[in-house]
Amino acid sequence: MDRLGYCWAVGLAACSPSEETPAPTATLPPTPLAEANCAQAAPSQVLDSGWRFAVDPQDEGRAAGWAAPDFDDTAWQAMAPGTPWEFNGVEHDGVAWYRSQLTLPRWEAFYLGFGGVDDAAWLYVDGQEVGAWRSDLGLRAAYLDLTPYVAPGESVTLALRIQDDGVFGGLKQSVRLGADLREVMSDLQWAMALAELNPTWVMPEWSRARPMPGL
């Protein structure tokens, strides 16, 4: 893992040089803690506008091309992912869709992330399915490297097909676009991702104790 990832895992205070550096108690990156150099955060955007929403009680959206760029969603209601759709007055169990069109910034890489999948999500880019996640993610982020599917400056259509098995449904965390993986998830989710990738690392207590609000 690079230095930036390590800085986020142990806390930003660790990025400042100190005269005394405690000996590590577990496997750590090869760079000494006192020499860690945190880079400036990569650019990112919260995609909280321009979304359209519709329920799909017969689960016909895939066959009807609801993910396609040229599909006409003007009759759909305006609603962005980030809270259960019940909070927006939609009482529905089953399948529903979110769609959005955006023009990509001129970045070198593109990552998409979100969280609170309830209960399953499938992501489409210009009609092509590129990822799927289940609610067993828990508090972890759902994320994907979009770089192979898009190009800087182009207009793309994002579609999210959601399966709700009961009670609340939707995505309970906003969709984020970033030029770096770190930028599309919360501090807690980043620490959890690092813990999964580096099982021998000692993770900070806040990565296990942070409450639900503020994810």
Q: Do 144 and 192 sit in the same domain of this protein?
A: no
Domain range holding 196? 3-40+188-209
Q: Do 55 and 82 sit in the same domain of this protein?
A: yes
Q: Do 155 and 193 sit in the same domain of this protein?
A: no
Residue 214 lies in a domain: no
Top-confidence residue, 167 or 158: 158
User: What is the mean predicted confidence (pLDDT) over 156-166?
Assistant: 95
Output Rg (C-alpha) for the chain, integer angstroms: 19
Is residue 29's pLDDT more than 60?
no
Q: For position 99, which CATH number holds?
A: 2.60.120.260
Residue 95 lies in a domain: yes
Is residue 212's pLDDT more than 60?
no
- List, in order, residues 6 or more apart from 24 with CB less than 8 Å away: 33, 202
The total number of structural domains that make up the chain = 2
Decide: 132 and 121 in contact? Cβ < 8 Å. yes
Rounded CA separation 15/35 (Å): 8
Residue 203 confidence (pLDDT): 66
Residue 46 confidence (pLDDT): 96
Q: Do 79 and 24 sit in the same domain of this protein?
A: no
Residue 209 confidence (pLDDT): 54
Q: Do 90 and 172 sit in the same domain of this protein?
A: yes
Q: Do 196 and 172 sit in the same domain of this protein?
A: no
Is residue 176's pLDDT more than 50?
yes
Length of the chain: 215
Residue 208 confidence (pLDDT): 58
